[in-house]
Chains A and B, each alone.
Chain A
Amino acid sequence: MTVIATTQLPGVRRVEQIMGLPIVVDVRDDDEPGAAVEQLFDWLRWVDATFSTYKDDSEISRINRGELRREDAHPHVRYILERCEELRQETGGYFDMNTPAGSIDPSGLAKGWAVDRAAAILDEAGFHNYAVSAGGDMRVRGRAVPEVAWRIGIQHPLDTQQVAAVIETAAELAIATSGAYARGEHIVDPHTGRPPSGILSVTIVGRELATADAYATAAFAMGPELAPHWTARLEGYEAMTILADETVFKTRGFPDE
């Protein structure tokens, strides 16, 4: 446990519980991003109210009860449902918003997409140094302090006190990790309905969190045989896959130290 070695940490840090996840917004620019951060959290609460399957009056719940036709849904909802279908095809069905009960749950994509647009809110407000994390899946940009880039640890899947890798970056980057250890997120192989065995976690790094998150979920569901090979073929996204025997596969451009 270390206090960041500056007593003049600029910007603002704020944590809220939205979409069932702790949302950490950490802006390190000199200007106070008060209004932009308010706008950002308002946006995330709107996404939660619109996409949550836990809220009876969300558009997704209404679609699932047959009260709202997909074509009458909000344009953002229609976009996410279309993107889910694209990703289902691209991942060979391993990323699938269709539940075994016959309903849809696009929240796995909506969360990362919401964070991408949250980052855009900060961009548009003129901020260049920030991290936005939703339960450990995040967008980072710029530097933590002028001298130091963001340093992001990748959770060691067997030991919460350790990290399996460190990514240091000043670039705009999305980082998503799917694993068996994450609370409330029990990834199953849609083809078998069971959690995959022999794989501990998949981390995907790239430009968009929505896509990185979906790829990580899909690759994890693929299991230890397929995941390292499938992730090696992705364009614009790099991957680290940790298997149950602690073998670690990294794609050529995985940006850890």
Chain B
Amino acid sequence: MRKSIAILLTVAALALPIVDATAATRATTRKIVVTKRFAGSIASVDRWGSLQVTIVVRKTTTITGTKKKVTRRMTAVSVPTYPNHTDRSVFINQNALPTLKAEALRAQSANINLVSGATDTSYGFAQSLQAAILKAKRA
């Protein structure tokens, strides 16, 4: 799996302008903005599951006279979120007597930006993000 991970994912690459002469004649400037969502490949994280990254790309087409410039900008990237965790973990605060806290992790449905200790998940994340960016470039 390691070898299949793309090396470079860069938003800067998305933003490279593509200049394309068109048949327009007058030097008026027109802007067309399209926002689209692209889903990455479903990356197998390990034997327990998989993840999929989604990005939102804003494509701006600026037409001035005969020149057309296209810029793409990634405006959002999905992150893995995790379901409520209420079942097995038992929390013991070492400063107090051991206490069961079954509801200790109530807030897991909220967004999480990054995960510590998640080497495997990060691999899957990189792979899926790369696929989403490649799709956006082709659009």
Contacts and interface: CB of A to CB of B under 8 A. Distances in A.
Interface of A: 1-9, 12-17, 20-22, 24, 26, 34, 131, 133, 135-138, 140, 144, 148, 150-166, 175-179, 181-185, 201, 203, 228, 232, 242, 246-252, 257
A133 B118 CA distance: 10
Size band of the interface chain B makes with A = 35 or more
Contacts of A21: 119, 122
Given A155-B116, A248-B91, A15 B125 contact: yes
A144 B52 contact: no
A160 B81 CA distance: 11
A136 B117 contact: yes
The interface residues of chain A, by DSSP majority, are classed as strand
B102 interface: no
B54 interface: yes
Contact of A7 (B45, B56, B105, B117): B56
Given A3-B78, A26-B113, A175-B116, 10 more contacts: A12-B11, A15-B9, A17-B6, A133-B114, A144-B113, A151-B110, A153-B112, A162-B108, A163-B112, A250-B91
Interface-centre pick from A2, A21, A158, A228 (highest chain B CB count, 10 A): A2
Interface stretch (B24-32, B60-68, B69-77): B69-77
26 contacts: A1-B51, A1-B54, A1-B78, A1-B81, A3-B56, A7-B35, A7-B56, A7-B75, A13-B11, A15-B9, A15-B126, A16-B7, A17-B126, A20-B2, A22-B126, A24-B122, A136-B119, A137-B117, A151-B112, A153-B114, A153-B116, A161-B48, A162-B85, A165-B105, A183-B119, A249-B92
